[in-house]
Amino acid sequence: MEATTVGLAVLLLGLLALVGMLVRATWKVSQKLFLPVSIIAGFIGLLLGPQILGRLAGWAGLPAWEDGGLFGAEVLEVWGELPGLLISVVFATLFLGTRIPSPRRAVRLLGPQLSLGVTFASGQYVIGILLVVLLLGPVFGVSPMFGALIEIGFEGGHGTAAGMAPVMAELGFEEGGDLALAMATVGIVSGVIIGVIAVNWAARSGRSAVLSSAAEMSGSERRGIHPKGERPSGATLTTRGSAIESMTFHIGIVAGAILIGQALLSGLQALEGALWADTVEIFAYVPLFPLAMLGGVIIQVFVDRFDKAEMIDRGTMERIQGMSLDVLIIAALATLSLDAIASNLEPFVILAVAGVAWSALVFFVFAPRYLRSFWFERGISDFGQSMGVTATGLMLLRMADPEAKSPAYEAFGYKQLVFEPFFGGGIITAASIPLLVQFGPYPMLVAMAVLLLIAILSGFFYFGRRPSFDVGKADASTG
């Protein structure tokens, strides 16, 4: 493939992002739904690609547009490769620039929050695999891998769905990547709608400890724009331009994290090949991105100990992560196959509805019993994450607690440090597909059911019975 084609593909992604931003800034429906620009742009790309415009062109007798839509088949080929590459960048930056807390403080802060997060995630596996075993497999003949789609799409989001697509394809679940991306879209849209309704309900009914009336975002916030004079600095320059551009330095750190992850993965694969590959293979199918995340943690631990100058800036890492995720989502949605969804529509709808119902149940029924103080603010962040991505959870939390009066932000942040390496794109998510193929649905179902039971019991009977002051902030507002 020519370098000019790759360059054109990247330029077109930028153009789609610009069009998506214009849509978000002007279209009231997208503002009310708080749709991220990347999702809007991705669907515009899908509309103008071979799945929609290409088919219309074929019916109209315009074969030039049939294979690649407005963009061309070669550009779509480049877009199809980008998600699998960029997901490692997204995960490598998760903890870079964030000081790793002491274990004692982290345990004290994250306990009930972690129980809630594990309840969301492990329950998504239990619900999905149970449906496959009892209904979707016998009736529709779907693969056992179908049972992992809720957690991959909902908890993992579009990035994880795109990252897991090559693994599913390699193991014979060719349509799995497209179904996971569609599941992620269902999750983020339904999560935002339910979350916005919940914030207004909590404010009116007194369930919120910090809101007295429905939180209203300004027009600029709904349009996705920082007004002039109120624009925060997105990054801090930690190196002088005469030596090296700060962004270049940080990209080098990310590259180092990914390479460490690749070394870890290669080592695990070699160990597996030498010891037990004849019996079962797991790491042979584990993608790079969860190990890239561990590479970032390793670098950050080293930096915390030895880097007195604090050279890694968290804001810069967030900019790199955000850009990578935006490009990833646009490329993944623009190359989505509607055929895969259409051929699995009935089981997909059943699975999606069950996933939404489970997340709503955990939030409205379990969260108030797990979290003795600020349950709504602390619960809605995990609910948003369980239905989309971390950004969705934080967006809903900002609506529920706009002035950060609750300890929800701190508790959620520490929970992520323990939760992310396993679920939502972590080791368990990455290994779930190979495990379902190697051993069938029942071992995974039993393991996740046990984990779910532990999370529920600890939430109800340990954390739910502790004094209401349990997360390290003043408890004045809880009465």
> What value does the mean pLDDT take over residues 88-94?
88
pLDDT of residue 65: 79
Quickly state the pLDDT bin for 355 (edges 50, 70, 90). very high
Q: How far is CA 62 from the centre of its chain?
A: 38
Strands (E), 90-236: none
Asked whether residue 116 carries a pLDDT value surpassing 90, the answer given is yes
Q: Name residues whose C-beta falls within 8 Å of residue 19's C-beta, 6 or more positions apart in sequence.
A: 41, 44
> What value does the mean pLDDT take over residues 181-209?
84
| Percentage with pLDDT > 90 across the chain | 47
Whole-angstrom Cα distance, residue 460 to residue 181? 33
Q: How far is CA 266 from the centre of its chain?
A: 25
Q: What is the pLDDT of residues 225-262, one digit of tens each?
A: 878 777 777 788 999 989 999 999 999 999 999 999 99
Asked whether residue 338 carries a pLDDT value surpassing 90, the answer given is no
> What value does the mean pLDDT take over residues 317-326?
90
pLDDT of residue 476: 33
Whole-angstrom Cα distance, residue 94 to residue 327? 17
> What value does the mean pLDDT take over residues 275-286?
78
| Percentage with pLDDT > 70 across the chain | 91
Whole-angstrom Cα distance, residue 396 to residue 415? 17
CA 276 vs CA 84, 211, 262: distances in Å: 27, 56, 20
pLDDT of residue 150: 96
pLDDT of residue 201: 87
- One-letter amino acid at 423 equals F
Asked whether residue 5 carries a pLDDT value surpassing 50, the answer given is yes
> What value does the mean pLDDT take over residues 197-218?
70
Nearest to 167 by CA among 322, 280, 271, 281: 281
Residues in the chain, overall count: 479
Whole-angstrom Cα distance, residue 25 to residue 225? 8
Quickly state the pLDDT bin for 207 (edges 50, 70, 90). confident
Quickly state the pLDDT bin for 135 (edges 50, 70, 90). very high
Higher-pLDDT residue of 478, 274: 274
> What value does the mean pLDDT take over residues 82-105?
81
Asked whether residue 470 carries a pLDDT value surpassing 50, the answer given is no
Q: Name residues whose C-beta falls within 8 Å of residue 458's C-beta, 6 or more positions apart in sequence.
A: 111, 115
Quickly state the pLDDT bin for 467 (edges 50, 70, 90). low
Average pLDDT over the chain reads 86
Q: What is the pLDDT of residues 409-459, one digit of tens each?
A: 777 767 877 787 789 888 899 899 999 998 999 999 999 999 999 999 999
pLDDT of residue 332: 85
pLDDT of residue 434: 92
Q: What is the pLDDT of residues 367-402, one digit of tens each?
A: 999 988 889 988 998 998 898 767 677 768 777 876
